[in-house]
Structure 1
Amino acid sequence: MTLFLLGLLISGSAAIVLALVILQHREANGALPFALVMIASAIWAWGYALQISAVSPELALLAVRIRYIGLLAVPACWLWFTLIYTETIARLTKKQAAMLAFFPVLTFVVNVTNDWHQLFYRRISVMPPGSSLVVTFEYGPWYWLNVGYSYLVVLIGLWVLIRFWGRALRLHRMPIAVTVGGLFFLTAIGLIFYISRQFAGVFDITPLLLPVNGILLYLALFRPRLFDAHPVAYTHLFEQLNDGVLVFNMQGRVIDCNPAAYRLLGLTNPVGRPVQLVLQHIPQLAQTGSSVLLEEPLRLEYNEQVLDVRSTILRDRRGQQSGYMLVVRDVSEQWRTQRALAESEAMLREERRLFIGGPTVVFRWEARRDWPVSYVSPNVQEQFGYAPEDFTAHRLSYPSLIHPEDYVRINREIVHYLHHKTTWFRQEYRLMRADGEYRWVDDYTSVVYNDQGKPVYFLGYILDVTNQKRAEAERLEMERQFQHTQKLESLGVLASGVAHDFNNLLTAILGNLDLALLTLSRNDPAAQPIRNAMLATRYAAGLTRQLLAYAGKGNYQVTDVNLTEIVQGMAAMLRVSVGKQARLELRLAPDLPVFQADPSHIQQIVLNLILNAAESLPSGEGTITVRTDVRDCDEAFLKRNRINNQAPPGRYLLLEVADTGCGMDERTQRRMFDPFFTTKAVGRGLGMSAILGIVRRHHGAIIVDSAPGCGTTITVLFPPSPVERDSNADRDQESLPPAPSTTVLVVDDEADVRDVTARLLTHLGFRVVVVADGASALQALQEQSSEIACVLLDANLAGMDAPTTLRELRALAPHIPVVVSSGYSQHEVLQRFAGQTIEGFIQKPYQMSELYGVLQHALRQFLTVTVADQPSAADAAPATQETPDADSSPD
Structure 2
Amino acid sequence: MQITTEEIIPLLFFLMLVSSAFVMICLGLYSRRFSGNPAVLPYQILMFSAAYWALNYAIELSTVDLSLKIFIQEIRFVVIAFIGVLDLWLVLLVLDKAEWIKGWKWRSLFVIPVIIVLAALTSRYHTLFRYDYGIDLTGPLPTLTFSTGPLYYVHVGYTYFLIIIGLALLLLTRGESHRVYQKQRILLFGALAFPIVLDIMFQFGWTPVHRVNPTPILFWIVGIFYVIALFRFGFLNVVPIARSRVIEEMGMPMITLSTDSRIADLNPAAEKLLSGDSTQIRIGQYIASAAASWPEFILFCFSSENRTELSKQDDTETRIYDASMELLYSSEGIPEGRLILLTDITAQKKLETEIRKSEERWRSIVDGAPFPIVITSISDNKIMFVNQRTIRQFNLSYSDLIGRNTEAFYTDLGTREQIIKTLQVQDEIDDAEMKMHAGDGREFWVYASVRKIQYMNQDAFFISFADFTLRKNLEETLKRKNCELEMVTFSLTETNKKLNLLSSITRHDILNMVQVISAISEIIAVENQEPGFQKQIRMIEDAGKTIQNLIEFTREYEDLGQKNPIWQNISQTLQRASITLICSGITLITPEKPVEILADQMLSKVFFNLIENSIRHGRGISIIRVSTELEGDLLKIIYEDDGVGVSQDDKLLIFSRGFGNHSGLGLFFIKEILEITGMTIREEGIPGEGARFVIRVPEGRFRFT
TM-score, normalised by the number of residues in structure 1: 0.25
